[in-house]
Amino acid sequence: MHDSFVAVLSSGSCGNSTFVSASETSLLIDAGLSCRELERRLAIYGIEPQQIEGVLLTHEHTDHNRGARRFCKMHGVSLFGTAGTLALTPHEDVNSIVISDRESLAIGSISVRPFPVNHLAAEPVAFSLTLNGAKVSIASDLGCFTERVVREMKCSNLLMVEANYDEEMLRNGNYPGFLKRAIMSDHGHLSNYDAGNLCASTASDASKEIVLLHLSKDNNSSEVAKDAVCDSIGELMPRMSVVPVEHGLHAGPFKL
Ligand SMILES: [Zn+2]
Ligand SMILES: [Zn+2]
């Protein structure tokens, strides 16, 4: 029996996966690394793949589903995703379970609440999870945030939010114009500035920590992202800590 915690196995365009554990139930949110790399990073936290009850996919982009089929097949883990996500994710020989983008479900002792987001994918969602009385929200690949997103994320003890790019760095960077526009659009990724606004809109007395996800390798840095979010929440929540996850590295455990 151990306490509830969250560990980011990897975050960013090279692969996303987050491990969430309550006393007797463990889940992965996304499996965007190879099966072998997922196993290797779980081992850092002393976790056996067989302990995991389900992999929950946010959407079908490869940086989120790359290792899903192999990992689930090899270790007898169930794969959860919306109909749109599963339709575009290989899942032969895997126990796949379709979830709705607006109905809560229970997986073991974890209550999972998916909610729709604006990213350019078939049927993308973010998740709020409740475990042992604590709430964690994991919202990456957002494009923009809606009132619904703010509402779903309120009262989280741990807020995990995308902070993909610094606007100035992206504008002045080497990406072609069409790509810059796609990233900045309402169906692309969330800027540091927007991440700060989202955190300021959702953070409350319940919130202890903010973890920043999906930082761009080219158009962001940990310092720049952290500064932007701290600027937005500074006066509201002076004691709250903000932890940016370096592109491609693991981070945590974050206790709940
Ligand atoms: Zn995506
Ligand atoms: Zn992504």
Q: Supply the DSSP string of 88-153, one letter for each residue.
A: TS--TTS-EEEE-TT--EEETTEEEEEEE--SSSSS-EEEEEEETTEEEEEE-S-SS--HHHHHHH
The pLDDT of residue 234 is: 81
Tokens describing residue 72: 């689930």
* Tokens 């606004």 belong to residue: 197
The pLDDT of residue 2 is: 55
Domain regions of the chain by residue span:
5-255
CATH classification of 5-255 is 3.30.70.3420, yes or no? no
pLDDT level of residue 1 (50, 70, 90 thresholds): very low
Distance CA 120, CA 145 (A): 13
Residue 2 Cα to ligand 1 middle (Å): 32
Q: Considering the chain, what is the average pLDDT of its residues? A: 94
Residue 3 Cα to ligand 1 middle (Å): 31
pLDDT tens by residue, 94-110: 999 999 988 999 999 99
pLDDT tens by residue, 161-185: 999 999 999 999 999 999 999 999 9
Q: Which residues surround ligand 1, an ion (CB under 5 A)?
A: 61, 141
What counts of helices (H) and strands (E) characterise the chain? 9, 14
Residue 25 Cα to ligand 1 middle (Å): 27
Residue 93 Cα to ligand 1 middle (Å): 25
